[in-house]
Amino acid sequence: PSSPRYLDLTKYAMEYTKRLEDSGKFQLVVWPEHCLVGSVGFSMVDEVMEALQEWSETTGGSIEWVLKGQNLLTESYSALEAEVPVNQATSLNKSVIASLTTSDRLLICGQAMSHCVHYTTANLVHHWPKDKLSNITLLTDCASSVPGFEAAGDKFQDDMAKAGVLLKKSTEVFS
């Protein structure tokens, strides 16, 4: 515990949590392990995976998978940028945003409305052409908030609607 590496990590943790809180988003939360590669939490829900495969087969398009949380030294609520970027890999992923902005219609779903969907979508909306925000649809019945954070999820949805993002149920989009 008294090794220089330990002391460096302690200093890093103190500075990191300060920067995280200074961003005005939240304090550090230590979550239980979740969405680990190879686990059920990392998997795509069967119905969504089937829809993605059908879309790919119908359009000839390929699914672009984006991994997040690959750096243990920073939080990655957003799939597009870590909360406190610590290197190029955790900085804003402009190539993914550029790819997504070519979409005529972008559907957003996932977990959790209060955190990862929230911050990924907020990053995207911030960098999306303002006159095309209605090309983004947030599927409100295909995401839910972390228990205890429902107010954050509700506020996020209100903010997105005010920004011009469409909020719809999947049955409205796919019927």
pLDDT in tens, 45-66: 898 899 999 999 999 999 989 9
Digit-coded pLDDT (tens) for 113-123: 999 999 999 99
Give the DSSP H/E element, type plus range, for residue 54. Answer: helix 46-59
Nearest to 105 by CA among 143, 133, 140: 133
pTM here is: 0.89
Q: Which residue has the tokens 């089937």?
A: 50
Nearest to 90 by CA among 105, 68, 112: 68
d(CA 148, CA 12): 29
d(CA 8, CA 153): 36
